[in-house]
């Protein structure tokens, strides 16, 4: 990116209320068949328009065609039975009804490639595409087949690599893997999680990112955060290994978070998507609050490597709140950009 401090989001944005129940994760669709296909595309165009109007530099599809950042991808794969649901504890903290792995997992056809082509022809801005990361995928499933988290993660990494290569060919500039599970299972991350992620990006020429956050602004997560004490040092466990990894960009939660900013020093050399928008509150940040977070991050990231972003996805927020937050992100980045250019 030539522009200093290019802004983006973690990926998801609220859906229009005619497409899906607002402010709900795993929200059921309100349309069917052909109408649903058209409705998703219309929503994608609207949310691209919102991003462009707000001045967001690296745009996304707002994840308008998926119900959930992990399960929608999995729905398109062989070997997973969505009828056979089990209640499991995900991210080691909350129970969810998830599908079961019942046979060898495989991808017969592309999942998001047509959507990416559609977005590509709508804009010349750089585009970022989010996919679930292998560890977060296995942590959102019941596995009655491989019976090994590592083995299944490796299979998913191979599948993600096929999808990522086709997304790259469709003109995606940055492919992001969402790995909130990296903030929970540190030993596994260091043993095989980062290696699986590297498998997923193998051979890609476009830029690659990993998004690691403390989750959507839902109660299970905000309750969990209350138990984490005054300093959140989870990132410290995995940054040294991530710093040496093949991933280009690390996307982090920073706004209103208790993560000590200096931890970013541990990934020196990587580009950092700094979460400057809190997705766990409906209060819209002022541009100055966004600017302040970015200034703090600049102590530990070179200006040409700092990418202002949101803490996590905004899909569970009311639309007007998400739009306000997009504007705040843009305005806050502008303040700091001007300061940097005046130096």
Q: At its nearest, how many Å lie between ligand MET and the CB of residue 34?
A: 26
The residues in 175-204 that bind ligand MET, with binding defined as CB under 6 A, are 178, 180
Using DSSP, state whether 174 is helix, strand or coil: strand
Site for ligand MET in 287-316 (CB under 6 A): 312-313, 315
Q: Which of 101, 184, 213, 284 binds ligand MET (CB under 6 A)?
A: 213
The Cα 150–Cα 231 span in angstroms is: 30
Q: What is the Cα–Cα distance from 241 to 247, expressed in whole angstroms?
A: 11
| Least Cβ distance, residue 216 to ligand MET (angstroms) | 5
> Pick from 66, 145, 149, 211: which binds ligand MET (CB under 6 A)?
211
Total residues contacting ligand MET (rule CB under 6 A)? Answer: 15
Rounded to whole angstroms, the Cα distance separating 274 from 305 reads 10
| 254 within 8 A of 285, measured Cβ to Cβ | no
Pairing state between β 78-90 and 94-106: antiparallel
Which residue is closest to ligand MET by CB?
Answer: 313
- Cβ partners under 8 Å of residue 111, min gap 6: 72, 73, 76, 163
Q: Which stretch binds ligand MET (CB under 6 A): 8-16, 112-120, 154-162, 222-230?
A: 8-16
Q: Is 319 in the site for ligand MET (CB under 6 A)?
A: no
DSSP state of 73: H
The answer to whether 8 contacts ligand MET (rule: CB under 6 A) is: no
Q: CB 56 → ligand MET: shortest distance, Å?
A: 13
Cβ 312 to ligand MET, closest distance in Å? 5
What distance in Å separates the CA atoms of residue 27 and residue 255, rounded to the nearest whole number?
A: 26
Work out which of 5, 6, 11, 336 binds ligand MET, going by CB under 6 A. 11
Closer Cβ to ligand MET, 72 or 190, answer by number: 72
**Which window, 4-12, 148-156, 184-192, 261-269, contacts ligand MET (CB under 6 A)?**
4-12
Q: Of residues 51, 54, 69, 242, which one binds ligand MET by CB under 6 A?
A: 69
Is residue 215 close enough to count as binding ligand MET by CB under 6 A?
yes
Closest C-alpha among 147, 134, 149 to residue 200? 134
CA atoms within 13 A on the CB side of 70: 22
> Quick check: 179 and 227 in contact, CB under 8 A?
no
Cα–Cα distance for residue pair 169/166, rounded to 1 Å: 5
Footprint of ligand MET on this chain (CB under 6 A)?
Answer: 10-12, 63, 69, 130, 178, 180, 211, 213, 215-216, 312-313, 315
């Amino acid at each position: 990116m030539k522009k200093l401090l290019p802004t983006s989001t973690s990926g998801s944005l609220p859906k229009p209320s005619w497409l899906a129940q607002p402010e709900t994760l795993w929200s059921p669709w309100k349309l069917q068949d052909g109408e649903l296909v058209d409705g998703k595309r219309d929503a994608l165009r609207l949310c691209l328009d919102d991003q462009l109007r707000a001045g967001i530099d690296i745009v996304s599809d707002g994840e308008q065609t998926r119900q959930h950042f992990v399960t929608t991808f999995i729905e398109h794969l062989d070997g997973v039975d969505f009828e056979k649901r089990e209640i499991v504890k995900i991210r080691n903290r909350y129970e969810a009804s998830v599908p079961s792995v019942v046979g060898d997992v495989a991808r017969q056809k592309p999942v998001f490639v047509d959507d990416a082509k559609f977005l590509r022809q709508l804009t010349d801005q750089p585009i970022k595409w989010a996919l679930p990361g292998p560890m977060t995928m296995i942590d959102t499933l019941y596995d009655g087949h491989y019976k090994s988290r590592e083995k299944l993660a490796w299979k998913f990494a191979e599948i993600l690599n096929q999808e990522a290569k086709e997304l790259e060919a469709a003109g995606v500039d940055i492919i992001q893997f969402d790995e909130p599970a990296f903030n929970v299972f540190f030993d596994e991350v260091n043993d095989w999680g980062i290696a699986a992620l590297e498998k997923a990006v193998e051979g890609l020429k476009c830029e690659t990112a990993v998004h690691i956050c403390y989750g959507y602004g839902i109660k299970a997560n905000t309750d969990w955060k209350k138990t984490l004490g005054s300093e959140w040092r989870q990132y410290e466990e995995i940054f040294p290994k991530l710093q040496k990894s093949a991933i280009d960009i690390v996307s982090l939660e920073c706004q209103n978070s208790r993560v000590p900013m200096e931890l970013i020093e541990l990934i020196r050399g990587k580009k950092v998507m700094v979460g400057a928008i809190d997705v766990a509150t409906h209060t819209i940040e002022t541009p100055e609050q966004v600017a302040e977070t970015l200034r703090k991050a600049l102590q530990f990231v070179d200006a040409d490597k700092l990418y202002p972003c949101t803490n996590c996805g905004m899909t569970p927020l009311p639309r007007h709140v998400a739009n306000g937050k997009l504007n705040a992100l843009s305005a806050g980045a502008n303040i700091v950009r001007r300061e940097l250019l005046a130096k």
